[in-house]
Amino acid sequence: MLPKELERIIQLTKTHHKWRRTESLNLIASENVMSPLAEAVYGTDLMSRYAEGRPYKRYYQGTKYVDEIETLTMELMNRITSSKYCDVRPISGTIANAAVFRVLAQPGDEATIAPVQAGAHVSHTKFGTLGALGIKQVELPYDRERMNVDVDGARKVIERVRPKFAVLGGSLYLFPHPTREIAEIAHSVGARLVYDAAHVYGLIVGGVWRNPLEEGADFITASTHKTFPGPQGGAIFTNDESAYKPVSHNIFPWFLSNHHLHRLPSTAVTALEMMEFGGEYASQVVKNAKALASALVAQGFKVVGENQGYTTSHQVAVDVSKQGGGAKCAKVLEEANIIVNKNLLPDDPPERVSDPSGLRLGVQEMTRYGMNESDMQEIAVLFRKLLIDGQDVSDIRRKVLEMRSSFQTVKYTFPLEKDIVPTILALG
């Protein structure tokens, strides 16, 4: 007889999997779903093994196949990113940031970051990775009209502070930051520019978001599980060998020991999928985000960024202060099997972090299940019925289940032979 705790763990896992994969509309902007093939290679013996160090320079034996997998993965990631140097060992985007930040600056040095209102991630700030490394945060001015970095103001700050590096990219990220302009200013004072592409890396690969390396950024840091639909993890890219070497040499042992080897083949599979289908996928993601924003406005919601066209990314930011605020609305939506996150908006004071006025929505996962613009309109209607009309949650949940029943298969993937996934899982 199985221990009751084991039975409970198994049941909870099965229930969660079914709920999130088949019964809910996932609009979390930082999540995605892997293809069956990427998941199959993820669940192999690699998940149990260690390979400290870099390919062909390991501290463990038994890594001859890992070395080849990791090298091929880096080659593929460089190819789709138009970069010369890549490191896929960071196990998250935050670890990727930490590895770069620690090499570019010493404790006590200063770094300039995009303003929090323009979407800066917590790892960029004194409250996160930057602070943990003892690097001083200097926030760049904010252009409220453009919801972005104020370039003229940034020039004054960077020329006065002369930071070791500047950071662009973000978490709530609707519109591209002025990468070329900030890169030129940073370089004029001998600073590097780090572009955190965690949220938009898949859009960059898909060709619908400008490549920061081509606009002067010295580093791209990225997550591999948001608009890039791979396994959870991070990556670092650059075209500068002199900048790459110290970062790559210090990822281990400064910030990690083993780098979760089962991520590597899954990342490689996803890179190949994006090479083949990334343009179509990324284009549909942006179309869907724009369609969702417009549809929400038509249903009576206030969507942030109206004067800019609401969004050019996978994200939509909605002001739901009139509907009770972000915390309340996110909870009600979850009860109806619509998964979103509450989020601070540009006019919110920082102390409202637990009960902000906004919701952040991301369309990338539902796009990968095959949804298009008409489906975004249907989702907006569900939002209105629930949050404005106050219809019964159970009624909306039934509509969500009905809608989701038509979207059960991951798209933008290679057609597979019938038994290839079970064969991989069985190590046949």
403 CB-contact burial (10 Å; exposed 0-12 / middle 13-18 / buried 19+): middle
Question: Helices 263-298 and 373-383 sit at what angle, rounded to 10 degrees?
Answer: 60
Residue-level pLDDT at 417: 65
Residue-level pLDDT at 128: 86
In degrees and rounded to multiples of 5, residue 178 shows phi and psi of -75, 75
196 CB-contact burial (10 Å; exposed 0-12 / middle 13-18 / buried 19+): buried
Distance CA 93, CA 91 (A): 7
Q: Letter for the amino acid at 5? A: E
- Angle, alpha carbons 293-228-305 (nearest 5°): 25
Answer yes or no: are the C-beta atoms of 268 and 73 closer than 8 Å: yes
Distance CA 195, CA 211 (A): 10
Distance CA 329, CA 324 (A): 7
Residues of the chain where predicted confidence (pLDDT) is lower than 50? 428
pLDDT in tens, 8-48: 999 999 999 999 999 999 999 999 999 999 999 999 999 99
Q: Which structure tokens are listed for 192?
A: 């590097």
Answer yes or no: are the C-beta atoms of 309 and 292 closer than 8 Å: no
Cis, bond preceding 253 (omega within 30 deg of 0): yes
Residue-level pLDDT at 423: 62
Distance CA 407, CA 21 (A): 10
Distance CA 7, CA 11 (A): 6
CA-based torsion, 180, 184, 187, 189: positive or negative: negative
Question: Helices 263-298 and 64-81 sit at what angle, rounded to 10 degrees?
Answer: 30
pLDDT in tens, 79-119: 999 999 999 999 999 999 999 999 999 999 999 999 887 78
Q: Does domain 39-270 have CATH number 3.40.50.720?
A: no
